[in-house]
Amino acid sequence: MTFDVARIRKDFPILERTVRDGQPLIYLDSANTSQKPRQVLDTLADFYERHNANIHRATHQLGEEATAAYEGARATAAGFIGAAEPAEVVFTKNVSEAINLVAYSMGNASATGQRGRFALGPGDEIVITEMEHHSNIVPWQLLCQRTGATLRWFGVTPEGRLDTSNIDGLITERTKLVAFAHQSNVLGTINPVRAIADRAHAAGALVLVDAAQSVPHMPVDVAALGVDFLGFTSHKMCGPTGIGVLWGRRELLEEMPPFLGGGEMIEDVRMERSTFAPPPHKFEAGTMPIAEAPTLAAAIGYLGEIGLPAIREYEHGLIAHALEALREIDGLRILGPAEPVDRGAAISFTVDGVHPHDMSQVLDERGIAVRAGHHCAWPLHRAMGVQASTRASFYLYNMHEEADALAEGIREAQRFFGAGGR
Amino acid sequence: MRLESLYQEIILDHYRHPHHSGLREPFDAEVRHVNPVCGDEVTLRVTLKDSDAGPVVADVSYDALGCSISQASASVLADLLIGRTVTEGMKVNDEFLALMQSQGEGEPDEDVLGDAVAFAGVSKYPARIKCALLAWMAWKDATAQAMGGREPA
């Protein structure tokens, strides 16, 4: 099947609406959250209209159906990323919660005197990168504060690639865990996961990958990446908000202490102490985003039908076109790789004389939705020597003409804020 | 075009040629305020002097990094508040805050707000209100610190 963007666009009802006084919506903020196709929206409505019940505890037909839908979604998600078995997939709220789950579990292992690879103390080190979203920085800072461990990080090169020149100095026998993004949410840079993971494993460290920005756009296989934990989130991949995935290797999830306590995650509860369910349920306390799970599975099905390789190929052409259009604009600086090599569908940039907030305002006036600010990656912006940037992020439903409209909108902002301002 | 109603010429003028910009000595209090949404920041200094009518804002100086709205807002603030008593300044501050919270329905009093009436259009854009308020919040904070235990009048 050839990739037909016009046909794909028809699946997304929101792309038909207008904004700001009748202008067609040009949605270039998918790295923030993606739009949802009809097939996904219908699945959510169908669950609530026909199968709604709580899971794992209702002894009636609806309960059985809801449980089957929820656990079926786990199997779908596991298959999607090449997990060895569904039990390796823990549903979370989002990637932030997935990362916090690992961090707090390690904190709990440390506090309860558990020995082994999850317990941390002074002298131990966590390694992250300067390229991370705040959600892959702050949980580790907090963990280090709680345990006395030390946080270290990779820097970035001026071109916006990970600076791995010091990898042997950073990843040592003191390293307990290395956590980094598969793809930068700001720069679009795709990092060499396998090489870093192999180095980390050689040093005896665990590896966690934030795949929030990669899983929606390209085939991702946890076995091929050779990592221990990987997080991704539904709402950036045509699915609903409120649900994400932590994938972890089975033996690790078994060894880890729980994060959140509550219903469903227990084996036996007595007033003095409790024992816990095996993974993944050990990490799923309380009523989960039940309807969102089969809806995420529908999104996975939708992307799978089009094909992640086809999506990746289409976006590659789209990004090449957008980069070319932006490079022609005087005074525009692209943060991150300027060529479409090992880079994904997010393009952040600055324009001399026009603050990103003002840029996004002018673009919004033309119906173009982008994001302005530091995109939850403040340290990265400081490293790149800028206070803030404008980010245009593309997805399978975006067209080459929309990249052209972006370039024209940027020129309009330059005219508006340039000499004379009109 | 709606853009012109947001970016009034007065705002663009202050943005391009900010008044009272640059940190000055002496000062009684200095604060740094940040908008965590976009990273905009302002460092602002306030100097007070005593008068028969109570403490007076002798000087406001600042170093602002940010968008046109936040930069112009700092410039207009300094123009408006330098030379006023703290009591008057707080009234202007309250009036400006009310205008920003008016969701485009406010009828600003030009006698009180001067050039700051140009920001009325900002109140229609929820994402930009914090930009306009950044310097004002910083001024209120710095002034409270500079006042110490003093009574405003």
Q: What is the CATH number of the domain that holds B95?
A: 3.90.1010.10
The reply to whether B138 falls in a domain is yes
Contact assessment for residue A231 and residue A212, using Cβ atoms and an 8 Å cutoff: yes
pLDDT of residue B149 exceeding 80: no
Express each pLDDT in B48-86 by its tens digit: 999 999 999 999 999 999 999 999 999 999 999 999 999
- Of all residues in chain A, the percent with pLDDT exceeding 70 is 99
Please count the CA atoms within 13 angstroms of the CA of B49 that sit on its side-chain side. Answer: 8
Q: Report the amino acid identity of residue A129.
A: T
pLDDT of residue A422 exceeding 60: no
Q: Looking at chain A, which residues constitute the CATH 3.90.1150.10 domain(s)?
A: 5-30+307-417
Query: Which of A134, A350, A354, A361 should we substitute to test contact with B (largest number of B Cβ atoms within 10 Å)?
Result: A361
CA distances A271 to A268, A274, B19, B83, B123, Å, are: 10, 8, 67, 67, 55
Q: Are B12 and A357 an interchain contact pair (Cβ–Cβ within 8 Å)?
A: no
How many Å lie between the alpha carbon of A323 and the closest alpha carbon of chain B? 24
Contact assessment for residue B141 and residue B33, using Cβ atoms and an 8 Å cutoff: yes
Using CA atoms, how far apart are residues A147 and A217, in angstroms rounded to an integer?
Answer: 36
Which of A221-230, A255-264, B109-118 holds the top average pLDDT? A221-230
The reply to whether B152 falls in a domain is no
Q: Can you say whether residue A310 is alpha, beta or left, with left for phi > 0 and alpha for psi between -120 and 50 degrees?
A: alpha
Res. A279 pLDDT band, cuts 50 70 90: very high
The reply to whether B153 falls in a domain is no
The reply to whether B123 falls in a domain is yes
Q: Are B67 and A373 an interchain contact pair (Cβ–Cβ within 8 Å)?
A: no
The reply to whether B90 falls in a domain is yes
Res. A264 pLDDT band, cuts 50 70 90: confident
- The mean pLDDT of B8-22, rounded to a whole number, is 94
The reply to whether B52 falls in a domain is yes
pLDDT at B80: 96
User: How many domains are contained in chain B?
Assistant: 1
pLDDT of residue B152 exceeding 80: no
Around Cβ A36, how many Cβ atoms within 10 Å? 25
How many Å lie between the alpha carbon of B126 and the closest alpha carbon of chain A? 12
pLDDT of residue A320 exceeding 70: yes
Residues 6+ apart with CB under 8 A from A226: A193, A194, A197, A198, A201, A207
Contact assessment for residue A229 and residue A206, using Cβ atoms and an 8 Å cutoff: yes
pLDDT of residue A403 exceeding 90: yes
Residue span of the structural domain in which B58 resides: 2-147
The residue with tokens 């999830």 is: A253
Q: Report the amino acid identity of residue B88.
A: E
pLDDT of residue A269 exceeding 50: yes
- If DSSP codes are grouped into helix, strand and coil, which group holds residue A30? coil
Q: Report the amino acid identity of residue A33.
A: T
pLDDT of residue A325 exceeding 70: yes
Tokens of A139: 């949980």
Annotated catalytic residues of A are: 376
Tokens of B84: 């006023």
A-chain residue closest to B131, CA distance: A357
B128 touches chain A (CB under 8 A): yes
B43 touches chain A (CB under 8 A): no
Q: Are A355 and B2 an interchain contact pair (Cβ–Cβ within 8 Å)?
A: no
Res. B3 pLDDT band, cuts 50 70 90: confident
- For every residue of A241-304, DSSP letters joined together read TT-EEEEE-HHHHHHSPPSS-STTSEEEE-SS-EEEPPTTGGG--SS--TTHHHHHHHHHHHHH
pLDDT at B1: 56
pLDDT of residue A421 exceeding 80: no
Tokens of A4: 């037909």
Whether domain A42-303 has CATH 3.30.310.50: no
Residues of B in contact with A378 (CB under 8 A): 39
How many residues appear in chain B? 153
The CATH code of the domain at A5-30+307-417 is: 3.90.1150.10
**Mean pLDDT for all residues in chain A:** 96
- If DSSP codes are grouped into helix, strand and coil, which group holds residue A382? helix
Express each pLDDT in B89-136 by its tens digit: 999 999 999 999 998 888 888 999 999 999 999 999 998 999 999 999
Residue A34 CA, chain-centre distance (Å), reads: 11
Around Cβ B101, how many Cβ atoms within 10 Å? 12
Express each pLDDT in A370-401 by its tens digit: 999 999 999 999 999 999 999 999 999 999 99
Q: Looking at chain A, which residues constitute the CATH 3.40.640.10 domain(s)?
A: 42-303
How much is the ipTM here?
A: 0.90
CA distances A162 to A20, A206, A250, Å, are: 39, 19, 30
